[in-house]
Each structure stands twice: as C-alpha cells, then as structure tokens.
Amino acid sequence: MVNFGKKLVANQVEEWKSYYINYKLMKKRVRQYAQQVEAGRKNRHQILKEFSRMLDDQIEKFVLFLLEQQGLLARRIELLGEQRTLLSGQPDIRQISDLREAYRAVGQELLRLLKFLDMNATGIRKILKKFDKRFGFRFTDYYLTSRANHPYSQLQQVFKHVGIGAVVGALSRNLADLQDRQGSYLSIYDQPSVSDPIIDQIQASVDKLTRSTSFLQFLGQHALIVHEDIPSSAEDQADADKYHFMSLLLNLVNTFLYMVNTYIIVPTADDYSMNLGAAATVCGVIIGAMAVAQIFSSVYFSAWSNKSYMSPLVFSTILLLVGNTLYALAFDLQSITVLLIGRLLCGLGSARAINRRYISDCVPSKIRLQASAGFVSASALGMACGPALAGFLQTKFKIYFLTFNQDTLPGWVMTLAWLLYLFWLWISFREPTRETSESHPPQDTNAGHMKNDLENGLVKPLLLNSEENHDEDGEQDYDESEEASEDSRGPATSVASAYRLLTPSVKVQLLIYFMLKYAMEILLSESSVITSYYFGWTTSKVAIFLAVLGLTVLPVNAVVGTYISNMFEDRQILLASQIMLCVGILMSFNFVGSYTVPQYVSSALITFVSAEVLEGVNLSLLSQVMSSRLARGTYNGGLLSTEAGTLARVVADGTITLAGYLGEGRLLNVTLIPSLLICLTSVLSTFLTFPTLY
C-alpha cells in the first residue's frame, strides 16, 4: 500500500503545488499535540481550538483556489459559447468538430480539478481520523457536522460541490447542444442521454453525487446496512454481476409479508385466546411466541446466508406456511398448544437477517441506500397493513370442518400469501455468484484505492469512509498499531467475540434500542385488551387505530430525515426523543378513575412517534460508533440490534401475560411501570455517555 503522504506528493499538479494541503505539517502537529498533552503543557480545549483553526486555514486555501479555477473554467465555457452562437447561424462541420474538441479539453481540465479536490478532501479526512486515534475521541464528526452545516463554511464546496455542479452542467449542456442535429430533442433537459465520452463520465459522476437525499440516508440507516462511499471499479463490477432486481424485490416482499404476519393477529389475539379457554392477556404469549423463536432464527439464518440466500429463504417460507396453517387450525382443534407451536414456527421462519444481508452483499453501491430505505419502508408498511387487513376479516363461515372467522382468517390469509410467495421465489430468485473468500472485505477499507477520474471526483470522500489500518507514512504510532491489529482480524465469529467489541457507547445504543422496542411492544400488544376494557372498542376499531399508528412511520421519518436531522446533532435528537418517549409513557398511566379515549390516543401517538424517531437516530449513531469488525459476517451490528429488539419484544409480551394475573383493571399501569423505569435508565445512560455519542 502506497503511503498517502507519498501518494499526495506524487499526484500533485506541479503548478498547483502550493495550493494542496500540507499533510506532512498536520501530521507533525498531531504528534506534537500528543506530546504536549502528556507533558501537561496544553489542555485538550487549547489543542482542539488550535487544530480546528489549522484545518480551517488548510481547507480555505484549497477551496479558494478551487473556486478560482472554477471561474476560469466557467470563463472558457462562456467564450466557447459565444463561438457556438456564431456557428448556429452558419454551421460548419469542421468548426463544430473543433469546438466540440475544445469543450472536451475543458472537460479534461475539469477532471484534473476534481482530482485536486479529491486528494485534498481525502487528506483532510485522513488527518481527522489520525487525530481521533491519537486523542481517543470522535473529533471528526463534530468538526464535519459543525462546518458542513454552517452557511459560511468552505466545506460546503467539498460536500455539496455546488460550483463544480454548475460547471459540469454547463459543459454537458453545450456538448449535447453541438449534437442537436443528430436527434429531435430540444436540449439535455428533454433527452439527457447523449453519446459523448465526456458526457457519459459526467452523467455517471452526477448520478453518484445525487443518488442519496438526506431523507433516504436517514431512512436507510434504520436498516443498519453499511454503505460505502467510494467503491473501486472492480467492486462495482462484482456488485453488478451479483445484482438481480427480481431477487432484491423478493427480499423486500419477504420483509413486508413477515411484518404483516407479525401484526395481523394483534387486534384479535385476545379474542382468540378466550375462544380457546385462556385469559385475554394470554395474547402477550401468543404475540410474543414469534419473537421468542426469532431470537434463534436470526442467528442461524445469518450464518446460513454465508453460503446461500435461496435455500434459507425457501426454508423460511415453508416454516411460515406450516406455522400459519397450525395457527388457523388451532380454533377447530381447540388447542392453544397448536396455536403457540404455529406462532413459534412463524418466528423460526423470520428471514430478516437474510433480507438485510442480501442488500448489504448483493446490491450495487449506487442503489444500496435506496434498497435500504426500501427495506425500512417495507417493514413500516407491513406494520400498518397487518392490523388494517385484520379489520377486513370480520366475517364467519365454515367449509366442511374448517372454521373461517376473525380469529382464523389471519392464519389462512397468510398461508395463501406465503404459498404464492414460495412459487414466485422458486421461479424468479437467482442465487448470486459468490467469491472464494468471505463475501467482501469490510466495506470501509476502500478509501485508499480510489480512481483518480471524474467518476470518483464527485463523491463525498469525507463522510463515511474509514481509514487504512496502518500509519500511512510508515510511522507505527502505538494507538494506530493497536487499531491495525484489531481491524486486521476478520468479522466477529461468536456472540462472545462480538460482545467484546462493544464499547460503552455501543452498549448504550443497544440499551436504547431495547427500551424503545419494549415500549412499542407494550403499546401495540396490549392495545386490544386495553381498548376493549376501557372503551369497548371492537376489533375493527383496534385495527384502524393500529394501522394509523403504523402509517405515521414514513411521514415522521421524512420530516426528521429532511429537516430535523439537518438542524440538530443526532445525539441531541436521541436525547430529546427519549425524553418525549418518557412523557408519552407518563401520559398513558391511569392516575384517576376515568380513562378517556383522547388521553389514550394522544399518549399512544406520542409514544409511538417518539420511538420511531428514536429508532432511526439510534441506529444512525450505532453505525458510526460500532467497530468495523461488526460491519459484516454472521455476528454483525444488524444482528446484534435485531437480537436486542427481539429480546425486548419477548420480555414485553411476557410482562403483559404475567400482569394479566392481577386483572385487566391493573394491566395498564403494571405494564407501564417497567417501560418507564427502562426509559429513565436509558436517559441517564445517555447523559453519562453523551460526550462520546458522535
């Protein structure tokens, strides 16, 4: 591996030499700062102030030069435009050809300028990472967030490339216009696909620049799927070879159907349990049985996906077919045991680990963010459609010895849905090609192998890439060699090895995830019992209420991802949403004799929406603070968060059933007490680790 300091010098444009960042000086300063801290000559606040000022100066130097060069390129394009205007009246094929070559020459200069931007931005990212390693905290995220979101920051040019985009647009439009006699379109805005090598490169670069919006990025982070910024051309080709749209669609449909399967029984689970001779609050066990089994299925399906995707998906679907059939038959067999076995089989068929892994491993990087957002959207829609569908199944009839009513129809409907899905899966899914080694290396090791062309010039090199594992200039600093030793090992191979990689910050994130899933499960699973006891709601009303709650997921995430996340730090949103969740739980308590519908609905809405906001921000922070070794493999960060959330659901559903022995009149307050205590604990933990949560 070529050291970055040497690479920077070797790839410099000679006449621009004085405008590149002084990477060697900044490395030297970082070492000096470390020595000064050890000697007690400077405190951390002084160093942060001096280092920030030095970075600002370095960035300002190359950004102002970048703006100057953009102006020169713009002036050249303007002059060429005047020539093009003269030619429009008296077209000459030779002169048009010469003019086209002149535009292409500007494109080559633009390539050179983008290489300049790429090298400088990469150097800034590397020195920030080096600073973090030396001083043991995430100064990088603070620096980038504070500068990138400030209206006067030079980093706006690095992150958003507004000026570069304008030059690219002008160059593309004029080159396309010179070919307008070869087609009938009016301009690139009407038909932008023009056959020109420079325009093709520009189009590819613009696609990479604009492929993700803040909302998509925020939504995609719910899936905890790692996204790389700068894949190599070889990796792009490998991803393209493995990618199959129908297979991705099948994974998303699997996610949707499973969430429908989970929540379609919630409005009727209490009625079903009573028809089988059990208490209404046994609905907690019925709903939670699926989550109990999912704790185990997540692990073995994650491991199975190391070898195949098709086989575990088929096996999962068969389990869900059998499980839903048993769930429906339990009514005529009058056996709650059969019902619980059916739900356990449904939980053992949970393929969410495969769905997430497929997106991470087999979807090209340029659309991986959209696929991740699709994964979350499918989950949210499934959560809303499940109860809504149950509301339409309010009928009763019998065919031979089989009873079809509001209790059994959810099982029969899901059996039919999974049967159709199995047929579609069998004829349409394509097993992706596999490499001889474990999938990919961790996705965040690609930063040192960037192509120096236009395509890679317009990506965001500062945001998500991590560093090479060694000191780039051959210096074996004690903290970097330790990190190199850690990162050189492969993914975690067991739950124990994954647990050892959990820092206090990551543990707090997992605790928060447990808490929010616990609070949501208490709210959703006991909703039919609570509303029936206090308000006399029918199954249809419960179904509508739960469907409305589920439908808030996407608009809430749109608001948070588009606006709120750009106004506040993630950790600030994290703390605020936890406090609002506590408020929602407190409002849910029945402090007086009369419990009203407005109190219940408003408190439920605050609780659910706060939990949804919290989930997105929590997983966003978790993806930033967890070890790179948890990015891939069987025991990855996605699996850990899934296990934490599933365990929370199991405990919550068990709490509902146990609290039911005290009577339905006490169920509400008894189940809310643990929710409140766990929420307060997570708020306290967040306060204690707040400085490290970025």
Q: What is the per-residue DSSP string for 513-526? A: HHHHHHHHHHHHHT
Unique residue bearing structure tokens 């499960």: 521
- What 135-138 contacts at long range (C-beta under 8 Å, 24+ apart), as own/partner pairs, is 135/33, 135/34, 135/37, 135/44, 135/47, 136/479, 137/691, 137/692, 138/624, 138/625, 138/692, 138/694
Confidence of residue 252 (pLDDT cuts 50, 70, 90): very high
- The arithmetic mean of pLDDT across residues 259-276, rounded, is 92
Q: Tell whether the model's pLDDT for residue 183 goes beyond 60.
A: no
What pLDDT is stored for residue 42 in this prediction?
Answer: 77
Tens of pLDDT along 188-201?
Answer: 444 444 456 665 66
Among 55-64, 143-152, 561-570, the range with the most confident prediction by mean pLDDT is 55-64
DSSP state of 404: E
Strand (E) positions, 440-530? Answer: none
**Residues 138, 142: Cα–Cα separation, whole Å:** 7
Cα angle value 372/375/380 (rounded, 5°)? 130
What pLDDT is stored for residue 180 in this prediction?
Answer: 53
Confidence of residue 138 (pLDDT cuts 50, 70, 90): low
Confidence of residue 232 (pLDDT cuts 50, 70, 90): very low
**352 or 493, higher pLDDT:** 352
- The arithmetic mean of pLDDT across residues 259-267, rounded, is 92
- Cβ pair 466, 129 in contact under 8 A: yes
Tens of pLDDT along 633-659?
Answer: 667 777 778 888 889 989 999 999 999
Q: Tell whether the model's pLDDT for residue 679 goes beyond 50.
A: yes
Rg (CA), the chain: 29
- The arithmetic mean of pLDDT across residues 64-73, rounded, is 87
What pLDDT is stored for residue 81 in this prediction?
Answer: 82
Confidence of residue 628 (pLDDT cuts 50, 70, 90): low
What pLDDT is stored for residue 518 in this prediction?
Answer: 94
Residues 220-237, buried b or exposed e (16+ Cβ, 10 A)? bbbbbbbbbbbbeeebee
Among 102-106, 194-198, 247-251, 690-694, the range with the most confident prediction by mean pLDDT is 247-251
Confidence of residue 475 (pLDDT cuts 50, 70, 90): very low
- The arithmetic mean of pLDDT across residues 467-481, rounded, is 42
Confidence of residue 203 (pLDDT cuts 50, 70, 90): low
Q: Tell whether the model's pLDDT for residue 499 goes beyond 80.
A: no
632: nearest Cα among 28, 226, 215: 226
Q: Tell whether the model's pLDDT for residue 241 goes beyond 70.
A: no
**Residues 326, 339: Cα–Cα separation, whole Å:** 6
Q: Tell whether the model's pLDDT for residue 210 goes beyond 50.
A: no
Instruction: State CA 49 to chain mean position distance.
Output: 33
What pLDDT is stored for residue 694 in this prediction?
Answer: 56
Tens of pLDDT along 304-338?
Answer: 888 899 999 999 999 999 999 999 999 999 999 99
- Mean pLDDT computed over every residue of the chain: 78
Q: Record the tokens describing residue 542, joined without a space.
A: 């419960």
Neighbours of 379 (CB within 10 A): 22
What pLDDT is stored for residue 216 in this prediction?
Answer: 46
Residues 317-348, buried b or exposed e (16+ Cβ, 10 A)? bebbbbbbbbbbbbbeeeebebbbbbbbbbbb
Tens of pLDDT along 462-472?
Answer: 333 434 444 44
**114 or 26, higher pLDDT:** 26
Give the H or E element holding residue 384. Answer: helix 365-391
- Cβ pair 393, 406 in contact under 8 A: yes
Per cent of the chain over pLDDT 90 is 27
**Residues 684, 165: Cα–Cα separation, whole Å:** 45
Looking at 173-187, 329-343, 452-466, 602-616, which range is the least confident one?
452-466
**301 or 481, higher pLDDT:** 301
Looking at 219-233, 271-285, 488-502, which range is the least confident one?
219-233
Q: Record the tokens describing residue 96, joined without a space.
A: 């048009």
What pLDDT is stored for residue 136 in this prediction?
Answer: 63
Q: Tell whether the model's pLDDT for residue 533 goes beyond 60.
A: yes
- Cβ pair 7, 122 in contact under 8 A: no
360: nearest Cα among 476, 503, 255, 243: 243
Helices 139-148 and 93-135, interaxial angle, to 10°?
A: 140
- List the end-to-end C-alpha distance of the chain, in Å, as a whole number: 30
